[in-house]
Structure 1
Amino acid sequence: MMKDDQFVLVDFLVKHFSGTLSQADRQALQKIFDDDPSLRDHWDRYTRQGVRSSDAQFWDRLDLDQARANILSRESIKPARRRFGNNMSRLSIYIGLAASLLVFVGVALFLQIPHQDKQLVPDQVYHYKNDVLPGGQKATLTLSNGKVVALSEEQTTLHEKNGEQLQVSGGQLHYKPSSGNAELANLKNTLSVPESGFYRMVLPDGTKVWINSASELSYPLAFGKSIRQVELRGEAYFEVAHEKDRPFIVTTIHGDIKVLGTAFNLTAYSNTASNVTLINGSIQLTNKNQSSRQIVPGQKVEFDGSNMRVTQANIEKETAWQHGYFYFEHDQIQDIMEQLARWYDIQVIYQGQISKKRFGGSISRSVSLAEALELIRRGAGVEFGIDRKTVTVKNKN
């Protein structure tokens, strides 16, 4: 077993146990197994039985200090994207594999003990009461008859009441292309993604949708002849299949987005104003006051029932969640914690007067909560405490 392969295997094991192992990761794993078939035995044993912290042979071979040193030396020569700092003067941080190695001890111990909450693990690094694992690919689908089905990455076939078959494969939900059956347009499905989850799907017209934590998307089993209409509560990224004569409409609490074929990110949680960022193509936004506005790629519109504000967008920031990381830019600590709360399914409590300073940086969504908080703590001048699923935030004394 090559030493670098040990480190990569640990990283993939952490992702496996936290439900964040992607298709690209699986392909990389297969290449490792092809190069060293003995690693497949390790993988199969650990994924079936769990890694024990007392597994002397594994831990003796794995030099964590050397692993971190190797990672730091590699990261130091890469473009500095993963940084976090106070008032945008960013302090370098190193995440990814290093963070996975640090949280892996907690994962290993977790596998030995019964626990009702599989996201909650003992913390062995930063001396919090416990740690919280990151979210993963999970959702529920409400069928037209009201039946609720849990979705995951496992391949399966679901059956609608009229005999229509829905496929789950490659970690996403697929609908068949519209068959022209008018009955299907009257049958509704709702895909619900909980806190600490995300999911992907392909709608009947071929439109691809990535759905973020604490979000719901409702839609028919087939679109009508004149329009394609869905309803979003939460956040989603759309790559809309182009159809010149059949516009695609997303209805939100604050207004409607109308497109023909384009890519955009839409955030429409009920507790804040909605916003849409156009990646390419063209969209028309109509708010509840029936005011309309068209925007061009690279622009962002914040809107509620009465107002619309157009600004130039930071595309990387708006779509970072889809690519597996948090991106902060001129954000207050409350804004940052709101994103973490949805991904780790936590409650946040603030003690005393919290600074209104703004911060910037990025953090992988695959790290544990403790690692994410430590990266923020170093640059933001705040202290954190974790008590099960409650995080306390206070200024450093």
Structure 2
Amino acid sequence: MQKAPELIAKLITKFLKNELSEQESKDFELWLASDPKNITLLESFRDTPSVQEELNYFNTIDTDKDWAILSNKLNLKPSPKLNWIKIISYSAAAILLLVAGIGLYQYTTSQRAKMPVLALQADAYDIKPGGLKAQFISADGSSTVLNGKIAKETDANIATKEGFLWVKNTGRQKNGYNQLKTPKAGEYKMILPDGTKVFLNSASTLRFSNNFNKGDRRVELDGEAYFEVAHNQDLPFVVKFNKTEVEVLGTHFNISAYSEEATKTTLLEGAIKIRTEKDQSILKPGDEANVANGMLNVHKVDTYKSIAWKEGMFYFHEDGITEILDQIARWYDVKIEYQGTPGTKKYSGDIRREATLNQVLQMLNAVSGAKFDLKDRTVTVNF
């Protein structure tokens, strides 16, 4: 579904002012659902430090009147040689810059990981996104709370290095184990004693021996993590999760093991061997191994989908609404309750993880038609 850029820009403007008629709402939802890029374009309206003042002014504007004036002044004549998404961007930018004073960041695919988000009314109950939060439990039982960075390094085994938690290996506790744990709405990144970088997603735990890199390089994962493994031909790196093991020499890959019934291992670079109790396989870049009930299945995937969280994005591609909301629940530390039947419809698009929860729910409402009610850290979804 493609409409004239001027009309789409007008619908976007009316959506921001909550002035869409019933028919316009239907047209707008159809347009959003027709292409994931349309969702990203809508997201690209960025709130500014003076956003409330601007929005208050925005809500006093007569959209139809000012649109007619601006259309005549701009004399927009889209060229068939131009990308229509960009034309809409120019049109919408003109409206919002000249009429409302709110800037629009033009959509380009290269900006996917830095896309700004739609501003909301400041008085709405909202929940901020997750951030750098974790707990490091040393082999000797001592615990350090991590918020952004280590304020004071009381544990001789850890330090900060280039924005990472750096775990040194002193060998004081020969049989002890260290753990890095992230809560819901938390994530953290760490450098292991061998130089391997680990990015730990929310509600996840990584466990490794205090003698790591002295005879073996084994870690245990519960949740999700992205690994950039330091190469060591003589000492393979092994990740154990849910009765499954991944063995590598040096490579980049992501493991999602939130569910005991199903896990995903996605390879971006190098090669890895994956073993279950019943089967094993060698993965090549672009492969994803799904393990469900002990059965191993390998297929090609869009690898960006598996690492988008590390790049600060929610990225959906043919996902059901419950799959999407599972990610939302972990990142915003909320409970999801359903009223009605979710259905089997699939959705594609991306939203920045730094968006507030209400901003995310607005986007999901626009494409799915589901109604979202946020109260006391519980999101009720009504279909």
TM-score (norm 1): 0.68
Q: Partner of 1:79 in structure 2?
A: 109
Call closer, same or farther: CA 1:69–1:354 in 2, change over 3 Å: farther
Letter aligned with residue 140 of structure 2: N
Letter aligned with residue 103 of structure 2: I
Given that 1:226 and 1:247 are in contact with CA atoms closer than 8 Å, whether structure 2 keeps it comes out as no
Q: Partner of 2:10 in structure 1?
A: none
Of 191, 200, 204, the residue aligned with 1:202 is: 191
Tell me if 1:265 matches 2:296: no
Structure number with larger C-alpha Rg = 2
Given that 1:347 and 1:389 are in contact with CA atoms closer than 8 Å, whether structure 2 keeps it comes out as yes
Q: Partner of 2:157 in structure 1?
A: 165
Q: Deviations over 1:165-195 (max 9, x none)?
A: 310355421023x56x4x5552311111000
Given that 1:157 and 1:165 are in contact with CA atoms closer than 8 Å, whether structure 2 keeps it comes out as no
Please provide the CA RMSD for this pair.
2.6
Q: Partner of 2:332 in structure 1?
A: 344
Q: Partner of 1:388 in structure 2?
A: 376
Q: Partner of 2:304 in structure 1?
A: 316
Tell me if 1:137 matches 2:132: yes
Given that 2:139 and 2:173 are in contact with CA atoms closer than 8 Å, whether structure 1 keeps it comes out as no
Q: Partner of 1:14 in structure 2?
A: none
Deviation at 1:146, TM superposition (A): 2.2
Call closer, same or farther: CA 1:166–1:81 in 2, change over 3 Å: closer
Deviation at 1:70, TM superposition (A): 5.0
Given that 2:238 and 2:248 are in contact with CA atoms closer than 8 Å, whether structure 1 keeps it comes out as yes
Letter aligned with residue 186 of structure 1: N
Measure, in 2, the Cα distance between the counterparts of 1:194 and 1:280.
28
Deviation at 1:157, TM superposition (A): 4.8
SS of the aligned residue for 1:150 comes to strand
Given that 2:140 and 2:173 are in contact with CA atoms closer than 8 Å, whether structure 1 keeps it comes out as no
Deviation at 1:151, TM superposition (A): 0.5
SS of the aligned residue for 2:207 comes to strand
Letter aligned with residue 339 of structure 2: Q
Deviation at 1:272, TM superposition (A): 4.1
Call closer, same or farther: CA 1:191–1:281 in 2, change over 3 Å: same
Q: Partner of 1:86 in structure 2?
A: none
Call closer, same or farther: CA 1:226–1:305 in 2, change over 3 Å: farther
Given that 1:317 and 1:329 are in contact with CA atoms closer than 8 Å, whether structure 2 keeps it comes out as yes
Q: Deviations over 1:8-63 (max 9, x none)?
A: xxxxxxxxxxxxxxxxxxxxxxxxxxxxxxxxxxxxxxxxxxxxxxxxxx859964
- Paired residues for 1:1-397 under 5 Å: 59=50, 63-64=54-55, 65=58, 71-72=103-104, 74-76=105-107, 78-79=108-109, 96=116, 98-99=117-118, 102-103=119-120, 106=122, 123=124, 130-160=125-155, 164-176=156-168, 178=169, 181=171, 183-289=172-278, 291-395=279-383
Measure, in 2, the Cα distance between the counterparts of 1:137 and 1:216.
14
Letter aligned with residue 167 of structure 1: A
| Runs of 5+ unmatched residues, structure 2 | 1-48, 59-95
Measure, in 2, the Cα distance between the counterparts of 1:207 and 1:60.
42
Measure, in 1, the Cα distance between the counterparts of 2:382 and 2:146.
38
Given that 1:204 and 1:222 are in contact with CA atoms closer than 8 Å, whether structure 2 keeps it comes out as no
Letter aligned with residue 143 of structure 1: S
Measure, in 1, the Cα distance between the counterparts of 2:289 and 2:134.
28
Q: Partner of 1:46 in structure 2?
A: none
Q: Deviations over 1:345-394 (max 9, x none)?
A: 01111101222101110000000000001011111121111112111112
SS of the aligned residue for 1:354 comes to coil
Given that 1:140 and 1:148 are in contact with CA atoms closer than 8 Å, whether structure 2 keeps it comes out as yes
Given that 1:95 and 1:367 are in contact with CA atoms closer than 8 Å, whether structure 2 keeps it comes out as no
Call closer, same or farther: CA 1:352–1:264 in 2, change over 3 Å: same
Measure, in 2, the Cα distance between the counterparts of 1:167 and 1:80.
34
Call closer, same or farther: CA 1:261–1:159 in 2, change over 3 Å: same
Deviation at 1:138, TM superposition (A): 0.4
Q: Partner of 1:27 in structure 2?
A: none
Q: Deviations over 1:318-365 (max 9, x none)?
A: 100000010001101000000000000011111012221011100000
Q: How many pairs were matched up?
A: 294
Call closer, same or farther: CA 1:338–1:271 in 2, change over 3 Å: farther
Call closer, same or farther: CA 1:202–1:157 in 2, change over 3 Å: farther
Call closer, same or farther: CA 1:185–1:240 in 2, change over 3 Å: farther
Call closer, same or farther: CA 1:82–1:59 in 2, change over 3 Å: closer
Deviation at 1:268, TM superposition (A): 0.8
Given that 2:194 and 2:213 are in contact with CA atoms closer than 8 Å, whether structure 1 keeps it comes out as no
| Runs of 5+ unmatched residues, structure 1 | 1-57, 84-93, 107-121, 124-129
